Amino acid sequence: MGKHNLSKNSRKVWAIGGGKGGIGKTLFTANLGVGLAKMGKEVIVVDSDLGGANLHTLLSIKYVKHNLNDYLNNICKIDEVIMPTSIEGLNLISGANGVLGAANPYFLQKIKIINCFKNLKADYIIVDLGAGSSYNVLDFFNAADEKIVIACPEPTSIQNVYGFLKSAIYRKLSRTFSHNPQLKELITYATNPKNGKRVETINELSQCIYDVDKTSHEIFKKTLNDYRPSIIMNMLKNKGEQNSAQGLNLVAKRFLDLEINYLGFLQADPLIPESVKAMTPFMKMRRSEERRVGKECRSRWSP
Ligand SMILES: Nc1ncnc2c1ncn2[C@@H]1O[C@H](COP(=O)(O)OP(=O)(O)O)[C@@H](O)[C@H]1O
Ligand SMILES: [Mg+2]
């Protein structure tokens, strides 16, 4: 394990989510980690996909001695789970690939993992989330200081990201009021599609909560206000495809009262699948390597 400087950075845990599989979460996590490490930061990338870990493969690590599951089961300390990679400053914590039952830790175990991440000595902890909107994924996403979703320009991916953010914000609200059965029930009711659209938007839910209790309403508004996810568009074939993020923004504003921060995009590039096959993050490739692989790709794809 490399040296870690105790960091006072209060926004150091970043989660990379987005609902759907195959949209580039793992790829982005690995390359963001490489990029930050190259800038001299101490970075730990975390594969929190407890059921289907593959971040280590992207970072050319073939053998994982200890994973998060060992830490949860008190088989080892968290320090023993942190593995160095071939990149200076970049370390990895692996999920629990293939361990039966590990894909569904109890809430207290999740809290243990999340608190542990926050206390790790590094500048940035980047958590690659699994696919879907299970409570596991949502709880890790909500606990992060920076919440980043990845989307592709296809309508299904945009729809998926919207569904993911909706589940995440309602989960956050539900946990915020977990001690208050009346409000919890109201929040569950608001997410039920069979409620006859009587509470269709989060603003309508806000009004209902205001009618029940003014103090809780203040907390509700603050929770919403503090909830600022960001988005990265991936696999763009042209710049115009960025517009699909704006459509998502409008819907999220109207129904969830959410402002989504647009961070930028990655274009669809044949070099990327090649870098995955080579088990080398493209941010690590040397120019000569990039040119060679790029040339091979072009000769294969061009007529
Ligand atoms: N910008 C891109 N251009 C081309 N291919 C990409 C791009 N981003 C991702 N891919 C391809 O998509 C595959 C799935 O990416 P991955 O990061 O594993 O998705 P996820 O973690 O969301 O399931 C990668 O193996 C890669 O080949
Ligand atoms: Mg993945």
Work out the average pLDDT over 122-134: 90
Helix axis angle, 181-191 to 202-212, nearest 10° = 160
How wide is the angle at C-alpha 104 spanned by C-alphas 170 and 202, nearest 5°?
A: 5
Ligand 1 atom with the smallest distance to the CA of 18 is: 22
Structure tokens of 112? 């243990």
Structure tokens of 95? 């999920």
**For residue 232, what are the β-bridge partners?**
150, 264
Element holding 236 (H helix, E strand) = strand 230-236
Report how far residue 276's alpha carbon sits from residue 279's, in angstroms, rounded to the nearest whole number: 5
Up-side HSE of residue 216: CA atoms within 13 Å toward CB? 23
**For residue 17, what are the β-bridge partners?**
149
Ligand nearest to the CA of 19: 1
Report how far residue 98's alpha carbon sits from residue 87's, in angstroms, rounded to the nearest whole number: 26
Tell me, what's the pLDDT at 54? 84
Up-side HSE of residue 124: CA atoms within 13 Å toward CB? 23
Three-class secondary structure of residue 31 per DSSP: helix
Ligand 1 atom with the smallest distance to the CA of 24 is: 17
The most confident of 11-20, 78-87, 191-200, by mean pLDDT: 78-87
Tell me, what's the pLDDT at 207? 93
Among protein residues, the one with the nearest Cα to ligand 1's atom 3 is: 268
* Beta-strand pair 82-84/90-93: antiparallel
Amino acid at 129: L
Of the listed ranges 3-7, 48-52, 119-123, the one predicted with least confidence: 3-7
pLDDT band at 297 (very low <50, low <70, confident <90, very high): very low
Average pLDDT, the chain: 85
Ligand 1 atom with the smallest distance to the CA of 269 is: 3
Report how far residue 63's alpha carbon sits from residue 159's, in angstroms, rounded to the nearest whole number: 37
State residue 300 phi and psi, 5-degree precision.
-80, -35
pLDDT band at 51 (very low <50, low <70, confident <90, very high): low
Q: For a ligand 1 pocket test, name from 231, 276, 293 the mutation site with the most ligand atoms within 8 angstroms of its C-beta.
A: 276
Report how far residue 269's alpha carbon sits from residue 163's, in angstroms, rounded to the nearest whole number: 27
Structure tokens of 119? 């206390």
The CATH architecture assigned to 13-159+228-301 reads: 3-Layer(aba) Sandwich (3.40)
Q: For a ligand 1 pocket test, name from 59, 126, 272 the mutation site with the most ligand atoms within 8 angstroms of its C-beta.
A: 272
Which tens digit of pLDDT belongs to each residue from 227-265?
999 999 999 998 888 888 888 999 999 999 999 999 999
Report how far residue 276's alpha carbon sits from residue 267's, in angstroms, rounded to the nearest whole number: 16
Q: For a ligand 1 pocket test, name from 26, 27, 283 the mutation site with the most ligand atoms within 8 angstroms of its C-beta.
A: 27
The domain spans of the chain are: 13-159+228-301
Rounded to two decimals, the pTM is 0.88
Strand order in the sheet with 124-128: 82-84, 90-93, 43-47, 124-128, 13-17, 146-151, 230-236, 261-267
Work out the average pLDDT over 187-210: 85
Report how far residue 265's alpha carbon sits from residue 126's, in angstroms, rounded to the nearest whole number: 18
What are the pocket residues of ligand 1 if the criterion is a CB atom closer than 6 Å to any ligand atom? Answer: 21-27, 131, 234-235, 266, 268-269, 272-273, 276
